[in-house]
Amino acid sequence: MKKILAILMILVLSISIVACTPKNEPNEDPVVETPVEQPGEPTDEIVDPEPSTDSKEVTLYFLNEEYVETGDESLEKLIAEKRTIEVGSTTLEEGIVRALMSGPEANGLRTAIPSTAKLIGVKVSDGTAFVNFSREGMFGGSLEETYTINQIVASLVELDSVDRVQFLIDGQKGDSLMGHYSIDEPFERPLSY
């Protein structure tokens, strides 16, 4: 009898253990919990996002090298070059001035903006583009000053957003960029030459 009672106890104990364990149905996929990222919540993963950039085709004006070399007044002094400007962390207007500073892509053209010039920034307000240069590095003769002004003004007033260009030196209206032409008022068109 002891054997039967022991077998019966083992059987009851086995049934109760099986009854207390959760069921896993073979047709169900196991549930895997993935943490949901909340907006603004830092993650462990480092992501280097691509800056959002837009591009726009613009017209840039550069100095005609043949005119500079020959002084032939019958030649065009500024020649247009189509360029696509990428706009990301800066404004389109600032991108245009930086492209003018970098120089043309086509042969036979050059920029008059001194390579030592330091652009602080370009902002637009009520149709006026404020082109802000550092005094440091802004020097040259009257030809460099004339065509620096003309390249920037001619290129920026092509935009619908710009009617005139006001040059600033270190954030303030100045007397001139390089000592030859007054920049105390905005330019609506390039200087006469």
Q: Give a yes or no: residue 134 inside a domain.
A: yes
CB neighbour list of residue 35: distance below 8 Å, 6 or more residues apart: none
Beta bridge partners of 132: 121, 168
Q: Give a yes or no: residue 100 inside a domain.
A: yes
Ranges of the chain with pLDDT below 70 = 1-53, 193
User: How many domains are there within the chain?
Assistant: 1
pLDDT of residue 46: 40
Token pair, residue 137, equals 């590095």
Q: Give a yes or no: residue 23 inside a domain.
A: no
Greatest pairwise CA separation for the chain in angstroms: 128
Tens digit of each residue's pLDDT (9 = 90 or more) over 117-131: 999 999 999 999 999
pLDDT of residue 8: 54
Contact between residue 175 and residue 138 where contact means Cβ atoms under 8 Å apart? no
Tens digit of each residue's pLDDT (9 = 90 or more) over 140-164: 999 999 999 999 999 999 999 999 9
Strand, coil or helix: 120: strand
Q: Give a yes or no: residue 135 inside a domain.
A: yes
Q: Give a yes or no: residue 41 inside a domain.
A: no
pLDDT of residue 23: 55
Token pair, residue 37, equals 């990222």
Residue range(s) defining the domain that contains residue 70: 54-169
Q: Please give the helix or strand (H or E) that residue 183 lies within, else none.
A: none
Q: Give a yes or no: residue 182 inside a domain.
A: no
Q: Give a yes or no: residue 1 inside a domain.
A: no
Q: Give a yes or no: residue 192 inside a domain.
A: no
The whole-model pTM stands at 0.71
pLDDT of residue 91: 92
pLDDT of residue 24: 52
DSSP structure class, residue 170:
T
